[in-house]
Amino acid sequence: MKQFYETYCGKEKLSPLVREISWTNNVLIMMAAKTDEEREFYLTLSAKNKYSKRELERQIDSALFERTMLSDITNKLITERNEGLTALRDSYVLEFLDLPENHKEMDLRKAIVGNLKNFILEFGKDFAFVGEEYRVQVGTTDFNIDLLFYHRELHCLVAKELKIGRFKPEHLGQLEFYLEALDRDVKKADENPSVGLVLCTKKDAAVVEYALSRSLSPALIADYKLHLPDKHILESKLRELTELAENSVGEDDE
């Protein structure tokens, strides 16, 4: 109790959040989080998503805070241009799929559909599953979107294309085509424009930056890992990017 009091005493922003979640989850966050920013992140998510102890432990173990902050910094310009992309990150951890390193696209898709509860936990509980290999028809040709979701808060369809191997620029072109088809033929009048994600095994940051630089579509490129990340490495990377961002702002102000 003393440590709990010392952690949150005088923290007007955090105190209301503490009262919204269970004592067990409060203790987990207090023991794991190293900064007020990280505590606020997990407190807010826990209150919003009603995490169980097991769900919160998984989010902390997967370094969700560090991964989210890194994605926000890296994709700041893209998300400012497309508000719908704020619900997506550029890296995901899918350790719960129990897939071997050498797997096929169909194996990945089937494993995701078979583990939807954990998949939605990783992506966010506002995602609702619509369909697998969702068919859209353009002209006289049928096309299949690997996975289609709906985001309840953003009120939009979210297409997810799965790619085994390194991201290629043509993957983005395919996704943009699907988004156009969804907006023209599937989206309801009161829904926002569809959003897309290419989920691939690997990506080259420079190739991704070039591919997205002239794209006006609300699309993001993300990679996925089949094992939990090293939190210390992510913490170090986050510190470096934060310092670079702060130095850049300082130079702009001079």
Q: Are 55 and 114 contained in the same domain?
A: no
How many Cβ atoms are within 10 Å of 24's Cβ, its own excluded? Answer: 12
pLDDT tens for residues 139-186? 999 999 999 999 999 999 999 999 999 999 999 999 999 999 999 999
Q: How many domains does the chain have?
A: 2
pLDDT tens for residues 88-137? 999 999 999 999 989 999 999 999 999 999 999 999 999 999 999 999 99
**DSSP structure class, residue 215:** -
**DSSP structure class, residue 155:** T
Containing structural domain, residue 40? 1-61
Q: State how far the alpha carbon of 204 is from the alpha carbons of 82, 135, 197, 234, in Å.
A: 22, 30, 16, 18
pTM of the model: 0.89
Contact 136, 179 (CB under 8 A): no
pLDDT tens for residues 32-41? 999 999 999 9
Q: Are 161 and 131 contained in the same domain?
A: yes
Q: Are 172 and 102 contained in the same domain?
A: yes
Asked whether residue 67 is assigned to any structural domain, the reply reads no
Q: Are 84 and 138 contained in the same domain?
A: yes
User: CA-to-CA distance for 192 and 174, rounded, in angstroms?
Assistant: 20
Q: Are 23 and 78 contained in the same domain?
A: no
pLDDT tens for residues 15-65? 888 889 999 999 999 999 999 999 999 999 999 999 999 999 999 999 999
Q: Are 8 and 110 contained in the same domain?
A: no
Asked whether residue 215 is assigned to any structural domain, the reply reads yes
Asked whether residue 69 is assigned to any structural domain, the reply reads no
Q: Are 33 and 85 contained in the same domain?
A: no
Asked whether residue 239 is assigned to any structural domain, the reply reads no
Asked whether residue 251 is assigned to any structural domain, the reply reads no
More confident residue, 77 or 198: 198
Q: Are 187 and 214 contained in the same domain?
A: yes
Element (H, E) at 159: strand 156-166
Q: Say which CATH number the domain at 112 has.
A: 3.40.1350.10
Q: What pLDDT score was predicted for residue 186?
A: 98
